[in-house]
Amino acid sequence: MTCDSVLKAIPLYFYGELSPAEEESVEQHLHECAACARQMEQQRALAAGLDRRRAEVPTMLLEDCRADLMAAIQGGAGAAETPAASPWKLFLHALEHSFSNWTRYRQPVGAVALLAIAFFAGRFTQTQPGLSSASLATPSEPAFSTVRSIQPDTAGGVQIALDETRRRVVSGRMDDQNIQRLLLTAAREDNPAVRVESVDLLKSHSDSSAVRDALLNAVAHDPNDGVRLKAVEGLKPLAADPDVRKVLAQVLLADNNSAVRMQVVDLLVEHRDDAIVGVLQNLMQKENNSYVRLKSEKALKEMNASIGTF
Ligand SMILES: [Zn+2]
């Protein structure tokens, strides 16, 4: 066996996941190779450190975690009836972060078992604040842990360095500057559900120029239809503003969602100006939504403009 394949096999060996033949070749290699034997020692020290804490895990909790794991594997979500089931998500999250570059440990069951022990210990200490001195997460605030290094010491202990990202809950009123700043950041998050929610809250505060810019940016560039619709709603009070109209005109000509175009055409024809004529004439060349066509046609007629450009 090569050193590389032995290193891959060590966690599996440790948790009895290897076939007898594989076990034998690992053992043989460990006898001959000091570097790999050291790795094995580290594994042993790590497991010993974790095992000391595993001893206190109640069976019910293990059952619980197993159910959560099955739910996470099958449906991508924790068990529905346990609102505090998110520790599994935390664990899977930590796993993903810690091991995204450590791909060789991703699939093996043994490696998962190793991490699961760390996780059980973390979850267990969450319910026992007195034991939290070395826990992966404090009882009140979930933390996403990334393991940076593992150092066994000579006394059979181990030092594990973690980076933790802690989740905070910030609450306040909508007119709070800090809340608004956070909502503006949320309007650029990857998660479209978060963007819809934040634009929905921001839309009643379009008197702030930062909010106005965020709404304009969302209506022109957000890939999510729901976010763009909310942003159009928020721009309603600003439909007479020339800068806003310029952006809305571009959206009317470019947006492929007819619900968005319907909202935008309503806003634009409500406040008429000369620039709108050209936009509507352009639109009539290609618009296939009958509501948008009707609205545009009516507005052009009322402005005594021809329906075609030529
Ligand atoms: Zn080796």
Q: Is the pLDDT of residue 131 over 50?
A: no
- Give the per-residue pLDDT at 105: 41
Q: Give 297's strand partners.
A: none
Round the average pLDDT of the chain to a whole number and report it.
79
Q: Give 146's strand partners.
A: 163
- Give the per-residue pLDDT at 184: 94
Here the tokens at position 64 are: 């619980």
- Give the per-residue pLDDT at 259: 94
Ligand 1 mean position to 160 CA, how many Å?
24
The answer to whether 174 touches 180, Cβ cutoff 8 Å, is yes
Q: Is the pLDDT of residue 12 over 60?
A: yes
Ligand 1 mean position to 162 CA, how many Å?
28
Ligand 1 mean position to 22 CA, how many Å?
15
Ligand 1 mean position to 290 CA, how many Å?
73
Residue 144 three-state SS? strand
Ligand 1 mean position to 112 CA, how many Å?
23
Ligand 1 mean position to 50 CA, how many Å?
25
Write the CATH number of the domain with boundaries 177-302: 1.25.10.10
Ligand 1 mean position to 36 CA, how many Å?
4
Higher pLDDT, 272 or 2: 2
Here the tokens at position 213 are: 């810019």
Ligand 1 mean position to 13 CA, how many Å?
14
The answer to whether 220 touches 251, Cβ cutoff 8 Å, is yes
Residues 27-64: pLDDT tens digits? 999 999 999 999 888 888 887 777 665 555 666 777 77
In angstroms, the Cα distances linking 122 to 22, 61, 92 are 32, 12, 13
Ligand 1 mean position to 226 CA, how many Å?
56
Mean pLDDT over 193-222 rounds to 93
At 79, give phi and psi (nearest 5°).
-60, 130
Q: Is the pLDDT of residue 209 over 60?
A: yes
Higher pLDDT, 105 or 308: 308
Rounded Cα distance between 190 and 286, Å, is: 32
Percent pLDDT > 90 in the chain is: 42
Ligand 1 mean position to 37 CA, how many Å?
7
Higher pLDDT, 122 or 48: 48
Rounded Cα distance between 270 and 165, Å, is: 48
Residues 67-86: pLDDT tens digits? 777 666 665 444 444 444 46
Helices (H), the chain: 3-14, 20-32, 34-54, 59-75, 86-99, 109-126, 177-186, 192-202, 209-221, 225-235, 242-254, 258-270, 274-284, 290-302
Determine the distance from the C-alpha atom of residue 268 to the mean position of all C-alpha atoms in its chain, rounded to a whole number.
36
Ligand 1 mean position to 2 CA, how many Å?
6
Ligand 1 mean position to 40 CA, how many Å?
10
279-285 long-range Cβ contacts below 8 angstroms, 24+ apart: 279/249, 279/252, 279/253, 280/305, 281/305, 281/306, 281/307, 281/308, 281/309, 282/253, 282/309, 283/252, 283/253, 284/308, 285/309
Q: Where are the domains of the chain?
A: 3-166, 177-302
Higher pLDDT, 127 or 272: 272
Q: Is the pLDDT of residue 9 over 70?
A: yes
Which residue is associated with the tokens 């010491």? 153
Ligand 1 mean position to 118 CA, how many Å?
26
Residues 239-295: pLDDT tens digits? 999 999 999 999 999 999 999 999 999 999 988 888 899 999 999 999 999 999 999
Ligand 1 mean position to 151 CA, how many Å?
19
- Give the per-residue pLDDT at 130: 38
Q: Is the pLDDT of residue 142 over 50?
A: yes
Residues 150-185: pLDDT tens digits? 888 888 888 888 887 778 888 899 888 899 999 999
Output b/e per residue, 18-46; b: 16+ Cβ within 10 A. beeeeeeebeebbeebeebeebbeebebb
Nearest to 92 by CA among 74, 122, 63, 119: 119
Nearest to 109 by CA among 11, 213, 22: 11
Ligand 1 mean position to 263 CA, how many Å?
67
Ligand 1 mean position to 9 CA, how many Å?
11
Ligand 1 mean position to 235 CA, how many Å?
65
